[in-house]
Chain A
Amino acid sequence: MKRRFAALIVAAMVLGNTGLAAKQPAAQARIELGRRLFYDADLSRDGTISCATCHEQHHAFADGNRAHPGVTDEPGRRNVPGLANVGQFTRLTWADSRQTTLERQASVPLFGTHPVEMGMSGMEADISKRLGRDPCYGLMFAAAFPHQNKVITFDKVAGALASFERTLVSRSSPYDRGQLSAEAKAGQALFRRHCASCHSGVNFTDQAYHRLGPIDPAAQDQGLMEVTKRPADRQRFRTPPLRNISVTGPYWHDGSAPTIFAAITRHELNVPLDDLPAMETFLQSLTDTSFMTNPNFSLPRSACGKAL
């Protein structure tokens, strides 16, 4: 029964994203275009970094490093978040309340300078120039945006990327299927008691900004305050979602917690150390291996009927 219910939820979510696409060829074309762009390093200054360079499918579209340097080798400041169910989030990134849509957020890695990631600041025109050299891209943009002119713009790129990202649905973990071991169930009970006020909902995040521990005015990263300028927001960061946490480490906004155990203990919960393995077992049950192997999310092998 639980399995059937979970399947219905998955079907509803996928239909919400791609079922519409089946009825609307342009919507499907936007997803396909977005997938190709997600893996295309021509969206970076020197062609070395694509979205997928940092968002790797086998890490549930996280990275596996504390932070990832950009095209100029400037060190990254914050840990790369996974993208499972990212289409459901209205607050994106660790601590930037301006990023409320995937379309808007795309400009952060492409054009951002704090730090430089893909390094395209001042080079927006190069995006259309580079992509426009490939006739297949011309066809794909025309199919994805059929009622617009044929000019390739960053807005179209961002729209296509967002369409693809909304298909990144992860709802097939042992937890979703109701296949928790006795230890995981014990861990779930602890989790509900001690963690679920912030790590709440189907994605285990309240999407709110919190500060853990005392304020450190000298910290390199002042969190949400860097955007809002409000002292009350100093070192507040968005509660990270926990789906696929076993493959998205290291943890914390700066990647400074190397293990799940380290991340849990840093919360200074009133939980006996002996109980933490059960909680970790529960968190491991949030791993959706099908999400990491779904061929619809991987590096595309062809476009316009030809091998890439």
Chain B
Amino acid sequence: MLRALSVGCFMLTFASTSAAAQMPQTVVCAAQVTPIGEYASWNQAAPLAAGHEADSPAVLTLGAASQISLAPTPDVHYAVRPEKPGGSVSYGGLLALDVASAGTYRIALGSAAWLDVIGKDGPQRSTAHGHGPDCTGIRKMVDFALTPGRYIIQISANGTPSLTVLALAVK
């Protein structure tokens, strides 16, 4: 059973299944809105080149948005085949997130690309998914309950070679 939770002006849906249905509804925007609060770094994203190999991912900084440059999908060698691999004309890449304390972590994307979070015990199940604050450019957000350790974040099926990504701890 899914239940919706409204939080401020964005919405996450709690899912009882795997990282399924990471598809937020689209919103028609008359103008861009500047993200605030924990999303404030979104518009000051620092450039970062995603890795092509699972053993050489680019490391994300928790709480700081990154402007990720991706590689053509055929050049990316994922740790685990993504559930939505993307076609040969799409783009993807590999990132890492170091988690120091157990909790819920949110990955925000500027597109509807697919993301998998891989821990030492394999792909992690998402706990919620939805869209970001309306009209901020935060297209999609997926939450994961993570314990301390390094996680590989696989980005796949992105339509362009560049993507804004923000990882943050959910308080």
Q: Which residues of B contact A47 (CB under 8 A)?
A: 73, 86-90, 157, 159
Contact B88 A130 (CB under 8 A): yes
Number of interface residues of B (CB under 8 A): 23
- Is B137 positioned at the interface, with any CB of A under 8 Å from its CB? no
Residue among B20, B157, B158 facing the most chain A CB atoms (10 A cut-off): B157
Q: How many residues of A contact B (CB 8 A)?
A: 34
Chain A hits for B160, CB < 8 A:
46
B21 contacts partner chain A, Cβ-Cβ < 8 Å: yes
Counting CB contacts under 8 A, is A64 at the interface?
A: yes
B56 touches A (CB below 8 Å): no
Note all chain A residues with C-beta closer than 8 A to B159: 45-48, 71
B11 CB, min distance to chain A CBs, angstroms: 13
Binds B, one of A36-44, A138-146, A204-212: A36-44
Stretch with Cβ within 8 A of A (4 or more), from B43-51, B77-85, B94-102: B77-85
Residue pair B87, A68 in contact (C-beta under 8 Å)? no
Specify the chain B residue showing the minimal Cβ separation from A131.
B88
- A25-61 residues with Cβ-Cβ distance < 8 A to B are 39-50, 52-53, 56, 58-59
Bound complex: CA A82 to CA B81 (Å): 25
Main secondary structure of the interface of B (DSSP, over half): loop
A264 at interface by CB-CB < 8 Å: no
B21 touches A50 (CB 8 A): no
- Contact between chains at A75 and B25 (CB < 8 Å): yes
B113 CB, nearest partner CB in chain A, Å: 7
Q: Report how far A47 CA is from B21 CA in the complex, Å.
A: 18
Q: Which one of A41, A69, A130 contacts B86 once the chains associate, using CB atoms below 8 Å?
A: A41
A-B contacts counted at CB < 8 A amount to 79
* A299, CB-defined interface residue at 8 Å: yes
Give the chain B neighbours of A52 by CB distance below 8 A: 84
B135 within 8 A of A: no
Known contacts A47-B157, A63-B21; is A73 also within 8 Å of B87 by CB?
A: no
**Of residues 202 to 261 in A, which have CB atoms within 8 Å of B's CB atoms?**
none
Is B17 an interface position by the 8 A CB rule? yes
- Give the residues in chain B near A65, CB-CB below 8 Å: 21, 23, 25
**A299 touching B83, Cβ below 8 Å:** yes
Report the nearest A residue to B84, measured CB to CB: A53
The residue among B17, B85, B113 with the most chain A CB atoms within 10 A of its own CB is B85
Q: Which residue of B lies closest to A43 (CB)?
A: B87
Q: Given the interface contacts A48-B159, A299-B81, A308-B81, does A56 sit within 8 Å of B86 by beta carbon?
A: no
Task: State whether A42 touches B26 (Cβ < 8 A).
Answer: no
Contact of A48 among B20, B25, B81, B113 (CB under 8 A): B113
Q: Would A40 and B81 be within 8 Å (CB), given that A47-B157, A58-B18, A64-B20 are in contact? A: no
Q: Is A301 located at the chain interface by the 8 A CB criterion?
A: yes
Give A129 Cβ to nearest chain B Cβ, in Å. 10
List the interface of chain A (C-beta within 8 A of B): 39-50, 52-53, 56, 58-59, 63-66, 68-69, 71, 73-75, 130, 133-134, 299, 301, 307-308
